[in-house]
Structure formats: structure tokens, C-alpha cells
């Protein structure tokens, strides 16, 4: 299956990654910076010092008050997008991994077309986290995402620790995962310590929230291989649905508590509608 069709990509070009904080990146980009630069948006004044660009002196202010100040303007810099993609075995359920690939592809495409660098991290952990820069890297990034396969357990805490240890500006970190791990709470709590913005995209299959199964079954854990015999009567399924709904709400509440954006995405949802709706509300795009 193709990750994103040409029409969708064309509509994505009108979007830009959102961030709630000012940045301090390394290259010229399209986002507000904590530093001052040479854009056309006035930011502040400071006293003139020898060596300053005389063209930035406010001569009208000097004529009125005799004060020699230079104008400072907003700098526009890059936003480093870090995609942390869950490739554990549980993501093989339904179309979750394909959905995660498409989410990563959409956000990465928006970043690259706006000159924002993108790095793709996965867990279970890979030694290398490839980095892509510039519109010309779109095809390579898509090819890398298409090669991702679901296998292994979910070392979410270790992935977060590895990400925090990597050098570079804070930027925007987007976690794309089903969060089906006991580590989700503690790991989410650590993510914002890097600084920058954090957004969690929780990808779930509808069956995980409202199962259609019934009767006497043996359930197999995709990651551990453990087996559990269950009898899914109607009241048991109803109880499960309540617990699942409560868990999803706790995940969303935890994200809000640590200052992270949160988007829940079902594999049956239309990705483009989500991009233009909930994702803008969460601050992922603008």
C-alpha cells in the first residue's frame, strides 16, 4: 500500500508544523526563534554598539530623543522534528503499523517541505536514527518508513532515555504508539524533560476498544507469547470496554499533565480529516 497519495501530499504542502515554544535551532527555517535575526517582524530595541549594522539604527528615535538604538527583529529558524515510532509486535494488530507509518510520513513531509530536519527513531531501539533534511529527502524518508516492521517487545522507557541522551536542539518530538505497555505512564512523564514540544499520537485498532469477539477463547500476547483462557460473555466484554475507555482517558490526562499534546487515532479514521481537525487543535500542525 502507498503511504500517501499525490493529492494528499499536495494538500499537506499548505500546512506547517506547530510549536508552542520559541526555538533556538541551527539553520534558517520558518519558525519563531528565541534569538534575533533579520526577518521583517520587529521584536525590540537595544543600545547601539560599535560594529552594529548602522542600517538598523532607528534614526527617527534618535532625532526625537537623542537615543542611539538599533532595531531587533524576529529570527526564523528550523524546527527539528523527532519521530519516535513504535515498531513492537503489538503494532502488527490490524493496520496499526501502517497507520503509524502514514502519520510519520505526513508529519515528516510537512517538515521537509518547510526545510525542517527530521529524524526517525523506533522502539525496539535501532542503533541508528536516520536523519533527513530538505525536500529532496522525502523519497528516502518514505522508503525508510515503508521498511519498518513490527516485532519484539515495547521498551518505551529505554527509547525515551536514549532519545533524551542524544544531542541537538529540543524541537518537536512526536511519539506514535499504541502505548500498550506498563511503562507508558513513567515514560510519558520523562519525555518533556528534553524541552521543546511533545505530542503523543496514540494509534489503536477499534477492536482494542470495542472487541467483537465472544465465547470461550484463548488470547495470545503478541509480544510475550503468553496465553490466557477467557470466557467473553456480554457483561465481561462490557466491563472490558469500560476499562479500555478509562485507560485511554488516563493516557490523555497524563499527556495534558506533563504539557504534551495528545491525539488518538483509530486505524479506521480518515487521516486527512484528523490532520485538519484534531491535529491542529493539539498544536501539531497549523
Neighbours of 150 (CB within 10 A): 19
Same domain, 51 and 130: no
Same domain, 219 and 257: yes
End-to-end Cα spacing for the chain: 28
What are the cell numbers at 107?
Answer: 508529519
Q: How many domains does the chain contain in total?
A: 2
Q: Is residue 42 scored above 60 in pLDDT?
A: no
Q: Which domain holds residue 62?
A: 28-77
Same domain, 72 and 101: no
List pLDDT tens digits, range 115-169: 889 999 998 776 678 999 988 999 999 999 999 999 888 888 888 888 888 777 7
Looking at residue 248, its pLDDT comes to 96
List pLDDT tens digits, range 59-112: 777 787 777 887 765 444 468 899 999 999 999 999 999 999 999 999 999 999
Looking at residue 174, its pLDDT comes to 93
Which is nearest to 32 in space by CA: 168, 197, 262, 165?
Answer: 197
Q: Is residue 24 scored above 50 in pLDDT?
A: no
Same domain, 219 and 122: yes
Neighbours of 147 (CB within 10 A): 8
Q: Is residue 20 part of a domain?
A: no
Looking at residue 72, its pLDDT comes to 60
CATH number, position 194: 3.40.50.410
Distances, alpha carbon 96 to alpha carbons 22, 93, 99, 141, in Å: 33, 6, 5, 19
Same domain, 52 and 139: no
Same domain, 84 and 56: no
List pLDDT tens digits, range 205-242: 999 999 888 888 888 888 777 898 888 888 989 999 99
Same domain, 98 and 187: yes
| 171 within 8 A of 23, measured Cβ to Cβ | yes
Looking at residue 54, its pLDDT comes to 66
State the pTM of this model: 0.78
Q: Is residue 107 part of a domain?
A: yes
Same domain, 208 and 254: yes
Same domain, 175 and 266: yes
| 168 within 8 A of 80, measured Cβ to Cβ | yes
Same domain, 53 and 191: no
pLDDT, mean over the chain: 82
Amino acid at each position: 500500500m502507498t503511504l500517501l497519495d499525490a493529492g494528499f501530499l499536495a494538500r499537506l504542502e499548505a500546512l506547517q508544523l506547530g510549536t508552542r515554544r520559541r526555538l533556538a535551532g541551527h539553520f534558517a527555517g520558518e519558525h519563531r526563534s528565541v534569538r534575533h535575526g533579520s526577518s521583517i517582524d520587529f521584536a525590540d530595541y537595544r543600545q547601539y554598539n560599535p560594529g552594529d549594522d548602522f542600517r538598523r539604527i532607528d534614526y527617527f528615535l534618535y532625532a526625537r530623543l537623542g537615543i542611539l538604538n538599533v532595531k531587533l527583529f524576529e529570527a526564523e529558524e528550523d524546527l527539528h522534528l523527532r519521530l519516535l515510532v513504535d515498531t513492537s509486535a503489538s503494532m502488527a494488530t490490524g493496520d496499526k503499523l501502517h497507520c503509524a507509518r502514514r502519520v510519520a510520513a505526513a508529519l515528516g513531509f510537512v517538515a521537509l517541505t518547510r526545510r525542517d530536519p527530521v529524524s526517525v527513531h523506533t522502539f525496539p531501539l535501532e542503533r541508528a536514527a536516520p536523519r533527513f533534511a530538505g525536500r529532496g529527502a522525502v523519497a528516502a524518508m518514505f522508503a525508510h518508513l515503508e521498511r519498518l516492521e513490527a516485532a519484539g517487545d515495547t521498551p518505551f522507557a529505554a527509547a525515551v532515555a536514549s532519545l533524551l541522551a542524544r544531542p541537538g536542539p529540543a524541537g518537536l518530538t512526536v511519539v506514535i504508539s499504541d502505548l500498550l505497555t506498563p511503562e507508558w505512564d513513567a515514560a510519558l512523564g520523562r519525555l518533556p524533560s528534553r524541552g521543546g514540544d511533545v505530542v503523543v499520537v496514540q494509534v489503536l485498532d477499534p477492536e482494542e476498544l470495542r472487541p467483537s469477539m465472544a465465547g470461550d477463547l484463548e488470547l495470545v500476547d503478541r509480544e510475550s507469547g503468553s496465553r490466557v483462557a477467557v470466557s467473553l460473555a456480554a457483561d465481561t466484554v462490557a466491563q472490558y470496554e469500560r476499562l479500555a475507555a478509562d485507560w485511554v482517558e488516563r493516557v490523555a490526562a497524563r499527556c495534558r499533565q506533563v504539557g504534551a499534546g495528545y491525539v488518538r487515532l483509530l486505524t479506521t479514521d480518515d487521516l486527512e480529516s484528523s490532520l485538519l481537525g484534531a491535529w491542529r487543535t493539539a498544536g501539531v500542525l497549523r
